[in-house]
Amino acid sequence: MTLNVILPVGISFYTFHGLSYVLDLYNDRIKPERNFVNYAVFVSFFPLLVAGPIERATHLLPQIIKKREFNYMKAVDGFRQILWGLFKKMVIADNCAIYANDIFNHSSGYPGSTLILGAVFFAFQIYCDFSGYSDIAIGTARLFGIDLLRNFAFPYFARDIAEFWRRWHISLTTWFRDYLYIPLGGSRGGKWMSVRNTFIVFLVSGFWHGANWTFIVWGFLNALYFLPLLLLHKNRQNIEIAAKGKMLPSFKELSGMVITFALTLFAWIFFRAKDLRHAFDIFSEIFSASLFTVPRFKGDENVFILALLIAFFFILEWIGREEQYAIARLGKGWAKPLRWAVYYGIAMIIFLFAGKEQTFIYFQF
Amino acid sequence: MMRKFILESALFLTLVIITCYFILLRANGKSDHFYLHFTSPRQHSLILGNSRSAQGIQPVVLNEILSRNDIYNYSFTIGTSPYGPVYLKSVKKKLDHKTKDGIFILSVDPWSISSNSKDPNDPGQFKEKEQYVGKTHFVNMNPNFLYLFNSYGKSFYQLLPRQKSSITLHDDGWLEVKIKQDSASMQKRLERKIKLYREKNLKKYKFSYVRLDYLKETINYLKHYGNVYLVRLPVHPRIQEIDEELVPGFNEKMRMVSESTGAPYLDMSYLGDSLQFTDGNHIYRESVKGVSARIGEWIASHND
């Protein structure tokens, strides 16, 4: 039996904002807001209403209260970030979704080689869908002169799982850190307390995504990946972005990135599967001889174009990995017409290659 | 500074929109199977029906025989253009209302007066309203943004003109299909189509009195603008068997419609043995010319 309750759009984000306000107030981090309009704008600020980033009262509320003035550079930057968000969502995520959905929904008919690529497509889909939305939200807020918290910082360039979680859905991770992990005792109670709290945070994070065992296993797996780093005190060894100041990564960095991506891919299969049985069926096919067959897809011609688009996206992300978002400083120092030509090119790619419209994945959470 | 930002943004967006507009204008008959139907202007004479007539009646042949230049094939598919409120509404929008001496050829077959909805006689359940014919409220605009954004469902780069395409929608609305016609391929496609129609479609579709009434309403509406003709196109004999199972006594029904509306009826189903089909359901382009010529001569005989 289920309860058919009509919930307001973005209920979980209202809740996070409301909780953040109450907890920050309780901990004397902020003063009570007496103006109801200011408070209401904080809780329901429209760009982040449906999929974040999850804001903090300490960060957003003062910006709402303060009188803002139009800032040309900020607005241009916001516009650029919206453009990049649209590219990620409409070109990469929506096109990957076509293949990921087909492969996961008909997994029994595909060999292991196709299934593993289906997981890769899903990895890019969920990243570009969610971070694309965040870019659009952050960019829109910047048009109003408001800076929102960063939500993604090139997570697929992470060299270990701890770094991945410092770069993936940052506003949720830090929310759980500040309002769950630390109040539970954090790492102050010794190693085992720290391990226990880490598992609690990841399991709660999994459960937040839905009451399905697949999300719990996904959270548990991530906690498990995290464990060796925690026990060996290596969870803070990669703070800066990979290959900072260099063109290419070292072999060690590259292998770290590949292993981390493979581990997250493994966990994404649980996240995307409809139930545990489905996930295990996919794994049994992946770890079979069919992994070494030529992958096949519905619409082979288009998958080649998608591969090119992903490569283009990946290169831009790598070039811009030291910035807030990939194209933040692309063409900085170039003549204005040339810079405009680049943005115009991106807009044209969005128009020509946008995939079939798909709902944002995180709208459901 | 805000003024500068707004002006620059507007300029950028205008540049992007203009380019997009011109890209969309380049779409041709190889880009999409239906798009050009919604970009052409209002028409004087129409061929209506489903995919059988979309591929099976060639306007250029009819125009030649009837010494006209205005016949346009506005047929779609079994799922999108069976006779009913949705198709009639679309036809009304496509028709040039100044027409006085138009020619209207309505291709009829058991599927065009049947429905796969739970209650075949409840127009509220007709599924075509959710399809592109139902959703494209403007049918004479170029580019047709409504069709492209609501129904196209593919990336727009696929709209760009392509030379290599086995399917071409001609400017006069005829959908030409070029396909391998060796006997093995033909047989394979025929078997596949029979399987689909017998095992899937025949179980889902039921004759609809409401659709039959809408066929009559369509005829009566078009009569104000010219002469209306009913045609049953030939199909492969094995497909025809399925047709007969779906609506037994189909020809009698059509003769009754013909009598009540005054629209002459031509049954060409007896030709099924002598023609080439792509899949048993659709006449192959080599045979289309002959079939179209027969229809043209039959119409000419009525006008003499």
Nearest CA distance, B70 vs chain A (angstrom): 34
Query: What is residue B175's predicted lDDT score, i.e. its pLDDT?
Result: 94
User: Using CA atoms, how far apart are residues A124 and A268, in angstroms rounded to an integer?
Assistant: 11
Q: Report yes or no: B3 at the A interface, CB cutoff 8 Å.
A: no
Residues 135-164 in B contacting A (C-alpha not used; CB under 8 Å): 153-157, 160
Q: List the catalytic residue out of A17, A209, A233, A278.
A: A209
Per-residue pLDDT band for A363 (boundaries 50, 70, 90) equals low
| A72, A343, A354: residue with CB nearest B1 | A72
Asked if residues B150 and B137 have their Cβ atoms less than 8 Å apart, the reply is no
Kindly tell me if the per-residue pLDDT of B177 is higher than 60: yes
- State whether residue B178 sits within 8 Å of chain A by CB: no
SS (H, E, C) chain A: CCCCCCCCCCHHHHHHHHHHHHHHHHCCCCCCCCCHHHHHHHHHCHHHCCCCCCCCHHHHHHHHHCCCCCCHHHHHHHHHHHHHHHHHHHHHHHHHHHHHHHHHHCHHHCCHHHHHHHHHHHHHHHHHHHHHHHHHHHHHHHHCCCCCCCCCCCHHHCCCHHHHHHHCCHHHHHHHHHHHHCCCCCCCCCHHHHHHHHHHHHHHHHHHCCCCHHHHHHHHHHHHHHHHHHHCCCCCCCCCCCCCCCCCCCHHHHHHHHHHHHHHHHHHHHHHCCCHHHHHHHHHHHCCHHHHCCCCCCCHHHHHHHHHHHHHHHHHHHHCCCCCCCCCCCCCCCCHHHHHHHHHHHHHHHHHHCCCCCCCHHHHC
Closest chain B C-alpha to A354 CA, distance in angstroms: 5
Instruction: Please answer whether residues B169 and B32 qualify as being in contact, where contact means their C-beta atoms are separated by less than 8 angstroms.
Output: yes
φ, ψ (nearest 5 deg) of residue A304: -70, -45
- The amino acid present at A134, given as its one-letter code, is S
Angle, helices A72-86/B2-25, rounded to nearest 10 degrees: 30
Percent of chain B with pLDDT over 90: 79
Asked if residues B125 and B250 have their Cβ atoms less than 8 Å apart, the reply is no
Q: Which of A352, A353, A357, A358 to mutate to test the interface with B (most CBs of B within 10 A)?
A: A352
- The number of beta carbons lying within 10 Å of the beta carbon of residue A125 is 26
Q: Are B258 and B223 in contact (CB under 8 A)?
A: no
* Three-state secondary-structure class, residue B282: coil
Residue A291 CB contacts under 8 Å (≥ 6 apart), including other chains: A111, A112, A113, A116
Q: Which residue has the tokens 């971070």?
A: A131
Q: How many residues does chain B have?
A: 304
Which chain A residue has its CA at the smallest distance from B21's CA? Answer: A351
Q: pLDDT tier at A154 (50, 70, 90 boundaries)?
A: very high
Partner-chain residue, chosen from A340, A348, A353, that has the shortest CB–CB distance to B19: A348
Q: Which amino acid is at A207?
A: F
Largest CA distance in chain A: 66
Mean pLDDT of chain B: 92
User: Is B162 exposed, middle or buried (CB count within 10 Å of its CB: 0-12, 13-18, 19+)?
Assistant: exposed
Please indicate whether residue A15 or residue B61 has the higher confidence score (pLDDT): B61
Q: pLDDT tens for residues A82-120?
A: 999 999 999 999 999 999 999 999 999 899 999 999 999
Confidence of residue B304 (pLDDT cuts 50, 70, 90): low
For A353, the closest of B5, B9, B155 (CB atoms) is B155
CA dihedral B152, B154, B155, B161 (to 10 degrees): -70
Q: What is the mean pLDDT of chain A?
A: 90
Quick check: A347 and B155 CB within 8 A?
no
- The minimum CA-CA distance between A79 and chain B, rounded to whole Å, is 9
The distance of A106 to chain B (nearest Cα, Å) reads 20
The predicted structure's pLDDT at residue A362 = 62
Question: Tokens standing for A252?
Answer: 């060690």
Phi, psi torsion values for A186, nearest 5 degrees: 55, -130
- Mutation to test the B interface, candidates A68, A72, A91, A301, most B Cβ within 10 Å: A72
Per-residue pLDDT at B89 exceeds 90: yes
> What is the predicted pLDDT for the residue at A4?
63
Q: In this structure, what DSSP letter does residue B273 have?
A: G
Nearest to B15 among A344, A352, A354 (CB): A344
Dist CA A17 CA A10 (whole Å): 11
What does the alpha-carbon distance between residue B225 and residue B107 come to, in Å, rounded to a whole number?
Answer: 18
Q: Is the pLDDT of residue A2 over 50?
A: no
Closest CA to A93 of A104, A101, A105: A101
Match 């464990």 to its residue by tokens: A227
pLDDT digits (tens, 9 = 90+) for A205-218: 898 887 789 999 99
Q: Residue B255: is it exposed, middle or buried by C-beta count within 10 angstroms (0-12/13-18/19+)?
A: middle
pLDDT value of position B237: 93
Question: What ranges make up the beta strands (E) of chain B?
Answer: 45-48, 71-73, 102-107, 114-115, 167-169, 175-177, 206-207, 226-232, 265-267
- Partners of B2 on chain A (C-beta within 8 Å) are 70, 72, 75
ipTM summary value: 0.83
Q: How many helices (H) and strands (E) does chain B have?
A: 12, 9
Asked if A70's CB is within 8 angstroms of B1's CB, the reply is yes
B109: nearest Cα among B62, B34, B56: B56
Query: Does residue A233 have an active-site annotation?
Result: no
Whether the predicted pLDDT of A140 surpasses 60: yes
Q: Do B1 and A353 touch (CB under 8 A)?
A: no
Interface of A with B (CB under 8 A): 70-72, 75-76, 79, 95, 302, 305, 340, 343-344, 347-348, 351-356
pLDDT at A361: 65
Dihedral pair phi/psi, residue A280, rounded to 5°: -70, -35
Rg (CA), chain A: 21
For every residue of B143-191, DSSP letters joined together read S-HHHIIIII-S-GGGGS--S--SEEE-TTS-EEE-----HHHHHHHHH
Any idea which residue has 């045979």 for tokens?
B287
pLDDT at residue number A46 = 87
- For residue B264, pLDDT over 50 is answered with yes
A19, A20, A22, A24: CA torsion to nearest 10: 160
B19 vs B22: CA distance, rounded Å? 5
* pLDDT of A1: 45
Apex B182 CA angle, B177 and B187, nearest 5: 90
Average of per-residue pLDDT across A179-200: 88
d(CA B76, CA B82): 9
Cα A172 from chain centroid? 10
Closest in B2, B8, B157 to A352, CB measured: B157
CB B95 within 8 A of CB B225: yes
User: With 60 as the cut, is the pLDDT of residue A3 above it?
Assistant: no
Contact B12 A343 (CB under 8 A): yes
What gap in Å lies between CA A309 and CA A87, rounded to an integer?
10
Q: Is residue B217 predicted with pLDDT exceeding 60?
A: yes
Which residues from chain A sit within 8 angstroms of residue B23, using beta carbons?
Answer: 351-352
Pairs of CB atoms within 8 A across A/B: 44
Contact between A351 and B15 using a beta-carbon 8 Å cutoff: no
Average pLDDT, integer, range B162-177: 87
Q: Are B254 and B222 in contact (CB under 8 A)?
A: no
Confidence at residue B11, expressed as pLDDT on a 0 to 100 scale: 95
- Decide if A355 and B155 are in contact by the 8 Å CB cutoff: yes
CB contact under 8 A, A70 and B12: no
A chain contacts of residue B18, beta-carbon cutoff 8 Å: none
Mark yes or no for CB contact B2/A70 under 8 Å. yes
Residue B15: list chain A partners with CB under 8 A.
344
The reply to whether B166 touches chain A by the CB within 8 Å rule is no
A220-234, A332-346, B83-97, B161-175 — which is least confidently predicted?
B161-175
**Rounded to two decimals, what is the model's pTM?**
0.86
Do A27 and A178 contact (CB within 8 A), yes or no? no
Lowest mean pLDDT among A5-9, A46-50, A174-178: A5-9
Q: What is the pLDDT of residues B282-294, one digit of tens each?
A: 999 889 999 999 9
CB contact under 8 A, A340 and B154: no
Residues of A in contact with B155 (CB under 8 A): 95, 302, 352-355
Contact residues, B window 14-53, toward A, CB-based 8 Å cutoff: 15-16, 19-20, 23
Q: Is the pLDDT of residue A5 over 80?
A: no
